[in-house]
Chain A
Amino acid sequence: MNAANSASPARQTASRAPRGPYWLLSPALLFYTLLLIVPIGMTALLSLYAFDDILGIQQQISFNNYLEVLTDPYFHKIFLRTLVMSVLVVLVCVALGVPEAYILNRMGSPWKGIFLLVILGPLLISVVVRTLGWAILFGREGLISESLQLLGLSDGPVSLMYSQTGVVIALVHVLVPFMVISVWASLQRLDPDTERAASSLCAKPWTIMRRVVMPQIMPGILSGSVIVFALAATAFATPAIIGGRRFKVVATTAYDEFLNTLNWPLGAAIAVILLLANVAIIASYNRYIERKYAQVFES
């Protein structure tokens, strides 16, 4: 970062004692070893143990829990449902977040800042509270049901509770700020002259959008999509409150195994699979983005 070869006192002490940075890092690294490596390692080990309804956890090593999760159609359904739900959330977040970030970026000075706060502010409010708002709106006597009936779009009360549509809407609301920030950050790097140049060469607005703006903000859209996907696939509060027992996803299933069925080894196996899938998706997506857009990041 800083000039590495400046003959400064700090530098001299650093070169005299090359272990300096490691000493500074040692408290954090020790903390991480004790509270990240050890617990995750113990969970991985737990996922290999057996569980008996009467005897409880048995310390016999086997891959039976993983076999059960990976072969049981019940778990297939839950994993597939989580995947479909997360993809839908990402698609809606792209459809809403990208145009909104673009519109926001073109706004004048006071409004730009105010609306950015309005959109990002909810990130600081607990997900439980934000989801509660949707639960009230979605109920049979909620505002959405009443207005649909008032408009004559529905004959009887409609409830979006316990449905995929309801969970997707609420999750989009929780996660769309991440898409807006991500696209917003890449719009900051966009040179407005490229748009003007294109329009002075008589390009139609749609063509400018497609050929000039989109390619430049694509890295922002992609990294926003990874964040949204990862958070949607592992979300707990929103699917638990809106989806309930009827719309179970991976996170709520693992929770039930742990705290209701008390089958800890099976719950641990689901958690390990979720962790590996999450890390694999983020890592491969990041590698893909870096390779494809290396020149954009370098500029």
Chain B
Amino acid sequence: MRNGYLALAFHTLFILFSVAPLMVICLVAFTDKGYLSMPFDGASLRWFYAILDNPEFIDAFWFSLYLGIASASIALVLSVPAALAISRHRFPGRDGINAFLLSPLMIPHLVLGVAFLRFFTALDLNGTFVGLVLAHTLLIMPYALRLVLSGAVGIDPTLEHAASSLGASRLTTFRRITLPLLMPGVVSGWVLAFITSFDELTMSIFLASPSTVTLPVRLYNYIEETIDPLVTSVSAVLIILTMLLMAVLDRIYGLERLMIGKGQ
């Protein structure tokens, strides 16, 4: 079955709609004027150099990077045993526990932000790196768990039986057989969890303090004040970095599989 002209016209408009706002950002970032404008009558890199004079964006970038790495790693450490338990064993409450572990997906980020603000204020953890790591870990757990789980379901248990029948200890079996087989799920789960943490705004905005600002929160606060070419050049850098990451991911894992994990 082939698409008609009408279908292709619709498709072209749809793609244009999808990329238009991102393209506008990347174009405006190259302007040589002091205000928002297209770079067609004068392009320069001045707004990219301007990022270097604004350490608040660079600091926020590093902060988001550390936050994403820490929370994605903790989420994976919690997800791997949980995924093995759910995929290997049948036990009372299995479906309920699975649904419970995926339940943060159903909770609006705003509600999580409010709840953590309340909780951390009581514990005196508000506005700290530790608080943000704990909150982000909970938020991204479902993404990590789901991808590890889909990886764990496909593992053939006879491979582990073979290892232990040849005298391998349980730890050796886990380290040498189970974990390598689980690796695609672990890597993709970690990456999706990291990206979700790195991009998160709504929950973090409740928890950020002047010394703990994530990059999306910094961008949001800046946009609230004013929209100038500086914020577009920062955004353009983010768009380009994400595209590079996508290309790498597509090579290693296949982006389609990862995305289906995000959407459903």
Contacts and interface: CB of A to CB of B under 8 A. Distances in A.
Contact of B114 (A2, A6, A271, A279): A271
B262 A128 contact: no
Contacts of A123: 259, 262-263
A127 interface: yes
A89 interface: no
Interface stretch (B42-50, B51-59, B179-187, B238-246): B238-246
The binding surface of chain A is classed by DSSP as: helix
B12 to A, nearest CB: 10
B22 A130 contact: yes
Contacts of B199: 124-127
B205 A117 contact: no
Contact of B104 (A36, A38, A100, A195): A36
A268 B10 CA distance: 44
20 contacts: A10-B157, A24-B85, A29-B97, A35-B135, A39-B112, A39-B115, A99-B7, A106-B1, A120-B256, A122-B18, A128-B220, A132-B231, A132-B232, A133-B24, A136-B24, A139-B227, A170-B21, A195-B1, A234-B110, A237-B202
Given A36-B104, A99-B7, A125-B199, 12 more contacts: A6-B157, A27-B82, A28-B82, A40-B111, A116-B256, A126-B201, A128-B216, A132-B21, A132-B219, A132-B223, A195-B1, A241-B220
Interface stretch (A62-70, A73-81, A250-258, A290-298): A250-258
Contacts of A272: 111
Nearest to A267: B114
Interface residues of A, number: 96
Interface in B81-105: 81-82, 84-91, 94, 97, 100-101, 103-104
B206 A259 contact: yes
Contact of A136 (B17, B232, B238, B246): B232
Nearest to A184: B260
A229 interface: no
A258 B101 contact: no
A289 interface: no
A136 B226 CA distance: 11
B108 A251 contact: yes
A278 B118 contact: no
Interface of A: 1-4, 6, 8-10, 13-14, 18, 20-22, 24-25, 27-29, 31-32, 35-36, 38-40, 42-43, 46, 96, 99-100, 103-104, 106-107, 113, 115-137, 139, 141, 143, 170, 173, 176-178, 181-182, 185, 192, 195, 223, 227, 230, 234, 236-237, 240-241, 251, 254-255, 258-259, 264, 267-268, 271-272, 274-275, 278-279, 282
Contact of A192 (B1, B86, B109): B1
A8 B263 contact: no
Residue among B10, B108, B160 with the highest chain A CB neighbour number at 10 A = B108
Interface string B1-31: 1110001101100110111111111001000
Interface size class of B (residues with CB under 8 A): 35 or more
B19 A118 contact: yes
A182 B118 CA distance: 35
A234 B243 contact: no
Contacts of A3: 157
A218 B66 CA distance: 42
B253 interface: no
Nearest to B263: A181
Contact of A137 (B19, B21, B79, B165): B21
Interface string B155-170: 0011011001100001
B188 interface: no
B78 interface: yes
Contacts of A195: 1
A275 B110 CA distance: 9
Contact of A274 (B10, B108, B206): B108
B263 A178 contact: yes
B132 interface: no
A96 B10 CA distance: 9
B70 to A, nearest CB: 14
